[in-house]
Structure formats: structure tokens, C-alpha cells
Amino acid sequence: MVEFEQSNVIVRYVRFRAGQGSAVDSDCVATSSFSSSQKIEDIIFDHCSFSWGGDENFNIRGVNGGVVKNITLQNSIVSESTYNTLLYDNVYNISIYNNLYALTNERNIRANFPKTPINDRLDFEFINNMVYGFKVATKPSMGLKFTALNNYYKVSSQVTPRDDAVVDSSSSGGGDPSQTYAYISGNIVPEGMDEYDTPLAPYIRTNAYYDSGIVAVEASTLLTTLLPHVGCSYPTRDEVDTRVIESWNAGNGVTATGDGAIYPTINGGIALTDTNGNGIPDTWETANMGGADANDLAPSGYTWIEEFINQIRSNDSTLSIPKITLQNKFPIGYKYQIYNIIGQLVIEGKIEADTLSKLKEELEGLYILKMENGIIWKTIF
């Protein structure tokens, strides 16, 4: 339905519902790279709702040599499709954090082993998610480096799981099992199921392969820390998300797709006056921008249109962005130093508008960044 093929994108408070008119094999949302000359990176989906995809609800894929990396899905509801989330082929540094996966048969989530593996990389992290009403829960291919931490898995009284474990590995991806690095811990598991299956047992580790900076809460607290705000909940939830959450609370509900789905009613409103049509109301421009254009850079390094869009929910403490995302910790005008993993200074300078893109062309691997404001953090270029 919706395809993302550009880098440096933030998508917040949007509902994606494919429904009856979508093709059988179409995804509700896909983030894709289709050639070796195309690298898609640094995209955040926050407080969105995805449902009724003809294939996956949320698909990330790098095919024909294409690469997709540094993608974050957080605070979102992914529900009611044949498949929920697939990480396919050349994708890595994927953060699936603080989401509700509900009433979908499989791929909650599914991660394939890449055809052209890259050493020393995190494939995905699956942290503080609520997974409900599944036949197959989380299925990584052997050979991957991943985290499954403090998730809350719950069965529906009307759906019977097919596997014995909530993290159930697959040998079909073509990976070398000996390269598997599995940090699986703190997950709430339905009675009668295991946390992970037997083939993963020799590769269980006691710490993450890569720390993106997410601070996980106990899975039992997600009922109060995540459920009240998850999904496209501002200004209000629609009937679909409300029904999905009611199913979680009641412990019932069947897996569903878009067949026969009825779109909820959207109540209209009155837009604020925007004389120049730049997407920012006149009142906000006058109060904050001093005559600047919507696409001019604000002091923060973001454009004014980004400042306006994000201030709508600026008092929302749930909008933390993991350290895996570069832009928020790389403000224009600051001095910086970059060190390799053995502590050698590699590059230093002052951040300009094109500095980040140049560094991504020059560097590859894990580095430590030190900013003049005292912030020290790790990232993979």
C-alpha cells in the first residue's frame, strides 16, 4: 500500500489500513531497497497503527544487493493480517521497540538470514513488545545476531499457538548456526510454552551483541507503561485499535485479515489558518519562527516544519528515540570526535549540514562519538 524508498524519515501518528481493495501479496507498509546502488537508512515509525495488509503489515527488505538499516518501529500497533512483520535479506540495525502485535497468524516478527551477510552487525532487537493472539510468534533464522528482551507474550483463548516456544528459530534462512548470537531474556511466556527452542540453546548469551541505548522495562509493567498510549492514539484511538486492545484485556479474539474489514468513521475538524500554505498555522509561525521559511533550519538543526510537527506532542514522555538513530545526537554547529573501537581518533571536526552524510560514505562499522557537550555514544555506520 505505502512504500518508503527514501532515507531520513520520521513518521508519527499515522494509521495505515490496507483493507479489502489491496492486492493479495501487497504489504500495508514496506521500507525497501531494490538495488546495490540504493541504501535506505535512518527511518523512525512512532505511534502508528498498521493493519489489514494483503501480505505483511510491516515489511523491511533489501533485495538485489540493496541495503536497509537503522530502522526503528516504536509505540505502534501492528494487527490483523496474515503476517505482521518480515525482515527480509539485507537489513540490519532494526529496532522493534514498545509495540503491540495482535491477532495475526505469523511473523511477530520473522527475520530471514541475509543472502550477503555482513560481519559484526546487529540484525535486530525486539524489546518491550506485547505479542498477542498468535499462531507463530517470533521466528529468527539461525545465524542471526539479535535481542529478544522483556517482551510480553499472551495467547488468545480463541487462537492456538503452533510452536512450543515464543522465540522459535528457523533453519530455512541459509545461515551458519554457529554464527548465531541470541540474547533472549526477561520475556513473559504463556503457560505451557518455552521462552526459546532447543536449537537456540547453545547460542544464548547474557548480554546484547550491540547496545542501542534502549533501557528496557520489566515486561510486566507494559500494561501500564505501553498499553495506554500505544498506536495512533492522538488525539483519540479509532474503533479498530480500540477493539484490538479490548481483545487483549479480555483475553479473546481471533486472527483476522482485511477481508470484510469495515473502515472506521473519521470525524472531521476545522484547520487553523495557514495563509502561505506551508503546513504551519499562522499563529505558530508568528510566535516561533521570526519570518523564517518552513524548510529553514531552526537552532536545533531540524527544519521549522519538523519543529512544528514534533511539538504537537512535545510533552509526551514516550517519544524517546533509541541511540541507534544518528540525527538527534548530531546537532549542527557542535564539535565532535570519532574514535574506533580500540580508542584511536579517526576524525574530528565541526558538524555541518552535510557532515553526517559524508561520514556515512567514509566509515563503516562500530565507532564511538564524543560531542563537545559531553555526550558520548556508540553507533554503527
Q: Which of 305, 322, 339 is the last residue of a domain?
A: 322
Contact present, 332 and 301 (Cβ < 8 Å): yes
**Same domain (yes/no): 165, 280:** no
* 256 part of a folded domain: no
**Same domain (yes/no): 18, 137:** yes
Helix, strand or coil for residue 287?
Answer: helix
Cell representation of residue 267:
470525524
Name 293's Cβ contacts closer than 8 Å, sequence gap at least 6. 278, 304
Say what the pLDDT of residue 321 is.
35
**Same domain (yes/no): 190, 142:** yes
**Same domain (yes/no): 317, 352:** no
Tell me which residue range forms the domain holding 354: 327-380
Question: Which amino acid appears at position 312 of this protein?
Answer: I
Question: Which amino acid appears at position 34 of this protein?
Answer: F
Structure letter (DSSP) for residue 149: E
* 264 part of a folded domain: no
Nearest to 77 by CA among 130, 4, 34: 130
Give me the residues paired with residue 83 across strands. 56, 106
* 258 part of a folded domain: no
* 212 part of a folded domain: yes
CATH number for the domain that contains residue 15? 2.160.20.10
Say what the pLDDT of residue 359 is.
84
**Same domain (yes/no): 42, 176:** yes
Name 147's Cβ contacts closer than 8 Å, sequence gap at least 6. 122, 124, 125, 126, 127, 183, 184, 208, 209
Q: Model's pTM, two decimal places?
A: 0.80
Say what the pLDDT of residue 249 is.
97
**Same domain (yes/no): 119, 223:** yes
Count the domains in the chain: 3
Contact present, 190 and 155 (Cβ < 8 Å): yes
**Same domain (yes/no): 308, 185:** no
**Same domain (yes/no): 284, 162:** no
Low-confidence residues of the chain: pLDDT under 50: 314-328
Say what the pLDDT of residue 23 is.
59
* 174 part of a folded domain: yes
In this structure, the dihedral spanned by the alpha carbons of residues 368, 212, 16 and 81, taken in order and rounded to 10 degrees, is 140
Q: Which of 199, 219, 250 is the last residue of a domain?
A: 250
**Same domain (yes/no): 305, 359:** no
* 293 part of a folded domain: yes
* 31 part of a folded domain: yes
For residue 153, count CB atoms less than 10 angstroms from its CB and return exposed for 0-12, middle for 13-18, buried for 19 or more: buried
Q: Which of 198, 217, 250 is the last residue of a domain?
A: 250
* 99 part of a folded domain: yes
**Same domain (yes/no): 60, 31:** yes
**Same domain (yes/no): 159, 213:** yes
**DSSP string for residues in 52-80:** --SSEEEEEEE-TT-EEEEEEEES-EEES
**Same domain (yes/no): 77, 32:** yes
Contact present, 141 and 169 (Cβ < 8 Å): yes
